[in-house]
A and B are shown apart, each in its own frame.
Chain A
Amino acid sequence: MAAMSLLLRAAAAWGAQRAASGAAAGARLSWLTGAARLPSTVAPVRHSSGHGKKMFIIKPTSFYDTRFLNMLRFYVFLTGIPVLLFITYVNIFIGEAELAEIPEGYVPEYWEYYKHPISRWIARYLLDPPEKDYEKEMAILHVEAKKAEMRHMELEARRLMRQRGDGPWYHYETPDKNLVDNSMKSTPDN
């Protein structure tokens, strides 16, 4: 909204320039004119040194817009300027690394593969070595692969036990047939 009002104000100033050259159009949109004065040829006035009669322009308030833009500028520059100064200092006085061949028998540290000094610093002190990330990811994959294999084997065992019926699953304990008392069924006329 503040930017919109800036745009409107810019358009109004442009319109005011055109209106000042052709003074007859000024009467129509008098509140839009950016300049607070009429040219001296329209209304000659004492003590204005050729700048014309000073007008009181009635327009909507720009207080909130200017306050917002001021606050925006202030808070952006509050941290922005120190950051920019720091980055400029690093670029000028420390400078970027040079590309070199890996010397014989030397294993570079993992942060020595970056060019800019700030990237090197971040890689060295804030981030983990990429080898560690790689190994962590492989460890996760290994565990998940083992789990998937175990689940697959369990499903296979279940299927086979249900099919063949010779395993500990998928059968219910029944009492021993020697315990069954057949005396009730042993004679036909009971």
Chain B
Amino acid sequence: PPAVPTEWIERQQSKNKFYYYHQKFRRVPYLSECMEGDYLCFFEAEAQWRRGMVDTEIVEIIRERLRACEQREGPNYLQNCAKEVEQLAQVTKAYQDRYGDLGVHGNARTCLMKQKQRMMEERNAKAKA
């Protein structure tokens, strides 16, 4: 029997229920669509980029899953957790490609430059092949 009476607590809490919502933001023009010198556009694009940078949390969640799997399996985690390991490898590679070495001062502009670099490399690789 639980030390804390959960049903009694739920009864107390259900007397006046209230809800919270997931905020939906409007889409604003990206940094690549902003005019040069339009600092307001830069600011909004930067805010949108920062709101959309959830990759850190994704990596954390996948890592937590791997740790949970390891805890569950015990000594045979190397064998049975292969899926989670694969997922973590994929997600970390994606994170590294997109936001990897931007550093603590990384902002939307540096990320855009990194993306441009990636696209150029892809194009060069395709042209060579």
Contact = CB atoms under 8 A, between A and B. Distances in A.
B23 A95 contact: no
Interface string A99-110: 111100000100
Contacts of A149: 37
Interface in A134-158: 134, 137-138, 141-142, 144-145, 149
Interface string B1-38: 00000000100110011111111100000000000010
B40 interface: yes
B20 A138 contact: no
Given A134-B47, A141-B40, A142-B40, A108 B12 contact: no
A93 B13 contact: yes
A113 interface: yes
Interface residues of B, number: 18
Given A92-B12, A93-B13, A134-B47, A145 B39 contact: yes
A114 B20 contact: yes
Contacts, number: 57
A35 interface: no
A100 B19 contact: yes
Interface of B: 9, 12-13, 16-24, 37, 39-40, 43-44, 47
Given A97-B18, A113-B20, A113-B21, 8 more contacts: A94-B16, A99-B22, A102-B24, A112-B20, A112-B21, A113-B23, A120-B20, A134-B47
Interface of A: 92-95, 97-102, 108, 112-115, 117, 120, 134, 137-138, 141-142, 144-145, 149
